[in-house]
Amino acid sequence: MSIVRRERTDLPDAFRRFFDTDWDKPWLRVEEFVEDEALVVRAELPDIDPDKDVELSVVDGVLHIRAEREEKSEHKGKDSYRSEFRYGSFSRDVPLPAGSSEKDVTATYRDGVLEIRVPMAQAPASEAVKIPVQRG
């Protein structure tokens, strides 16, 4: 029996995207959609304090979302003691569409969901321009 090693380029696209993930970096799930002339980005961030655990910025047309979570619990009994903790940092970069207004970005946190709204510039209605054809 022999083992055949496949290069990542031999894999179908779906598998290649799956295996090209940075496994050492925790990821943050987001959804993006357009609503009322604004790009809306929602991120699942349960059990955090948005005032101290979330950092948002826009640089060069990219929305940067960074969050940290630290949770500790202690259980003391008469004859026992148990301590548990979870922690990690998460980040995600979301490219903004052309014409986005970086100055008027708003963010709200409710029920474990961070919602960021980025106003999008209304594209002016363009009129058809007739181009004359010259005979040469």
pLDDT tens-place string over residues 49-108: 889 999 999 988 899 999 988 878 888 888 888 888 777 888 889 998 888 888 889 999
SS3 at position 16: helix
Classify the C-alpha dihedral 13-19-20-26 as positive or negative. positive
pLDDT tens-place string over residues 23-61: 444 567 889 999 988 999 999 888 888 899 999 999 888
Q: What domains lie within the chain, and their CATH numbers?
A: 26-119 (2.60.40.790)
pLDDT at 109 over 90: yes
Report CA 84 to chain centroid distance, whole Å. Answer: 28
Report whether 116 contacts 101 (CB < 8 A). Answer: no
Pairing of the two strands 38-44 and 30-35: antiparallel
Report the pLDDT value the prediction gives residue 110, as an integer from 0 to 100.
93
- Identify the CA nearest to 47 among candidates 107, 82, 90: 90
What band does 125 get if pLDDT is binned at 50, 70 and 90? Answer: low
46: DSSP letter: T
28 forms beta bridges with: none
Report the pLDDT value the prediction gives residue 56, as an integer from 0 to 100.
93
